[in-house]
């Protein structure tokens, strides 16, 4: 999975935006201004994604490439490596889940605009 392929998948989502709030090396993807993914913009070695806490534990037990979110709330965020140890299809599914979790937390009025 390349950063371009991952970005293209996320770019198609309603309310998507991206920025570099932590400096030029950390790319953040947002839905209606709220973060749902962040990664190293240079190497795309891994991506942090929000996850349901119960599923996060299951994924960490099943895949060596999924660990508690680096510099994030370990209960709600996973770090997923992009070296192929986690299938690309699953990576995109996890990005979709992260987007959906964040979108669901938005006020109804904002969700309705997306």
Q: Residue 43: what pLDDT?
A: 81
Range of the domain at 63: 3-104
Position 61 in a domain: yes
* Total number of domains constituting the chain: 1
Position 110 in a domain: no
In whole angstroms, give the CA distance from residue 111 to residue 72: 25
In whole angstroms, give the CA distance from residue 108 to residue 68: 30
Position 37 in a domain: yes
**1 pLDDT more than 90:** no
The CATH number for 77's domain is: 3.90.1150.30
Position 28 in a domain: yes
Q: What pTM value is reported for the model?
A: 0.93
Q: What are phi and psi of 10, to 5 degrees?
A: -75, -30
Residue 96 pLDDT level (bands cut at 50, 70, 90):
very high
């Amino acid at each position: 999975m390349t950063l371009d392929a991952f970005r293209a998948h996320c770019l198609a989502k309603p309310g998507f935006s991206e920025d570099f709030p932590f400096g030029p090396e950390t790319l953040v993807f947002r839905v209606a201004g709220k973060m749902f993914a962040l990664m190293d913009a240079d190497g795309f070695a891994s991506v942090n994604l929000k996850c349901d806490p119960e599923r996060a534990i299951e994924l960490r037990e099943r895949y060596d490439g999924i660990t508690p979110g680096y510099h994030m709330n370990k209960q709600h965020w996973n770090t997923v490596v992009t070296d192929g140890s986690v299938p690309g299809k699953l990576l995109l599914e996890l990005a979709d889940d992260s987007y959906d979790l964040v979108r669901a937390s938005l006020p109804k009025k904002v969700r309705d605009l997306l």
